[in-house]
Amino acid sequence: MTELDEQMKKAYELLGLPEDATREQVENRYFILLKRARSEKTRSEAGEEDGETLNLTEINQAYNLIIGIESEKTVTVVKQSKIGHFFYYYKLHVIVGLLIVLVAGYMIKEGVDKRREAANTPPANLSVSVFGNFYFADTELLEQNMLNLVPEWQRIKTSLVYNPPEIQSQQDMALQQKSVLMLITEKDEVYVTDERNFESLAMQGLFVKLDEFAAKTGLTIPENLIRKARTEDDTADYAYGIDLTGHPIFNGVEVGGERQIVGIRAPEDKWDDTRILIGKLLETMR
């Protein structure tokens, strides 16, 4: 054992610490001993003898020796690894910078493509949301089937919002949160829902009362197709949905055995177009 090692061992013993004590433990112990030494000195000056007293000079020397050695070790390690850290640090920044450039380029391109697509896409006569447990639903086929009923229209904007029936994974949770966000941000005029989601959305007051819609548009809805529900503000059940389960427009769309219930969310200025589509659906119902 070298002389320095012997001094370090005695320094740790003086502070009452093991040789593998951390820097934080050394500093905490040092301040405790300082406080105790000063307290003993105060009592001694007041004439209160308290047996063996701590030597403040020895405590300071032990502390400075340990901290000094630890600091030298840290400086040595830093010097040895400084060049390596430099290249690692800047390599990371270069990679991150390239990723940012690539992502920014992709977003710009996607934005340009979307604007170009929007400029070449005819305006939609109506927007339809397929909302619920319809994971494999082919919305392009559904849109084409609806357009076949109204050939004078150029486009029906059709989107799919999958809302899982049960939350069994983080993905299901994310999809459910996305469905809620879509309800808030994308207010489509017509919703095709499954039974569970129809009841939930109707209860939230999302759909127009069909009695009011029929009174203003002259639409006649067969009684056997009407689905009723009650919102939080209703005192009785009202007609909010039209059950079109099995309608030919869903042939090949992959609705997964769920019922297909149509609810209307359109504002009054879109009721005429909504009445045209719903009327055609009712006319072609088997």
Which pLDDT tens digits describe the chain residue by residue (286 residues)?
687 788 888 888 888 889 888 888 888 888 788 777 777 776 776 666 555 567 778 888 888 888 776 555 544 444 444 545 544 555 556 666 777 878 788 778 777 766 776 567 789 999 999 999 999 999 999 999 999 999 999 999 999 999 999 888 888 888 888 899 889 899 999 999 999 999 999 999 999 999 999 999 999 999 999 999 999 888 899 999 999 999 999 999 999 889 999 999 999 999 999 999 999 999 998 7
> Where do we find the tokens 């084409």?
144
What is the reported pLDDT for 96? Answer: 65
- Determine the pLDDT at residue 143: 96
Question: Which H or E element spans position 160?
Answer: strand 156-162
Q: What is the pLDDT of residue 261?
A: 97
Phi-psi region of 252 (alpha: psi -120 to 50; beta: other; left: phi over 0): left
Burial class (CB in 10 A: 0-12, 13-18, 19+), 3: exposed
Q: Taking the model in full, what pTM does it have?
A: 0.59
Distance from C-alpha of 11 to C-alpha of 125, rounded to nearest angstrom: 86
For the range 76-85, what are the long-range contacts, defined as Cβ-Cβ under 8 Å and sequence gap of 24 or more?
none
Q: Is 88 helix (H, G, I), strand (E, B) or coil?
A: helix
pLDDT score for 67? 79
Residue where the block lists tokens 């619920």: 132
Q: What are the C-alpha distances in Å from 140 to residues 13, 253, 280?
A: 80, 9, 19
Q: What's residue 80's pLDDT? A: 47
Helices (H), 121-243: 139-149, 170-185, 195-203, 210-217
DSSP 204: T
Q: Which residues pair with 261 in a beta bridge?
A: 193, 243
Are 167 and 176 contacting, i.e. CB atoms less than 8 angstroms apart? yes
pLDDT, residue 91, reads 56
CB count, 10 Å around CB of 11? Answer: 22
What is the residue-wise DSSP string for 223-284? GGGEEEE--TT-SS-EEEEEE-TT-GGGTTS--TT---EEEE---GGGHHHHHHHHHHHHHT
